[in-house]
Amino acid sequence: MGILQTEFEFSLPKGYVDETGTLHKHGVMRLATAADEILPLKESRVQQNPAYLTVILLARVVIRLGELKMVTTKVIEDLFAGDFAYLQEMYNRINQYGSNVIKTQCPKCEHSFEIEAQSLGE
């Protein structure tokens, strides 16, 4: 029986620039729980603007971004649009479709690495 992967590393296409001008590109997203998707629905920000649900969801599941101490809704709001879309796509891929990551090994040097398989038609 395999081990369930619950955390996934990523690298933002552009990166988040904090208030000091530091660029943060590399991070980790964890799998969402039912609570991650249900609890934000009670928030007034989501009730007033349903599109805000995505901001709250990403702030809950992105557990690390560069050297930031915490990933907040403000951090997610301040992402470049392309990075926001990248995280949305990643969230959907790992939570709804499962990961397409395949662990493999170089036949010559025996170095182990992971590749991401693309589905046909994407």
Q: Among all chains, which residue has been given the structure tokens 């081990």? A: 3
pLDDT, one tens digit per residue, over 58-107 is 999 999 999 999 999 999 999 999 999 999 999 999 998 655 555 667 77
- Cα–Cα distance for residue pair 51/66, rounded to 1 Å: 26
- Look at residue 105 and tell me if it is in a domain: yes
- Cα–Cα distance for residue pair 72/74, rounded to 1 Å: 5
The two structure tokens encoding residue 87:
């995280």
Q: What is the torsion angle, in degrees rounded to the nearest 10, for the CA atoms of residue 113, residue 23, residue 88 and residue 78? A: 170
User: With contact defined as beta carbons under 8 Å apart, do 58 and 88 qualify?
Assistant: yes
pLDDT, one tens digit per residue, over 26-54 is 999 999 999 999 999 999 999 999 989 99
Which domain covers residue 57, as residue numbers? 7-116
Count the domains in the chain.
1
- Look at residue 2 and tell me if it is in a domain: no
- Look at residue 92 and tell me if it is in a domain: yes
Radius of gyration of the chain (CA): 16
What pTM was computed for the model? 0.76
- Look at residue 47 and tell me if it is in a domain: yes
- Look at residue 102 and tell me if it is in a domain: yes
Among 78, 61, 93, smallest CA distance to 22 is for 78
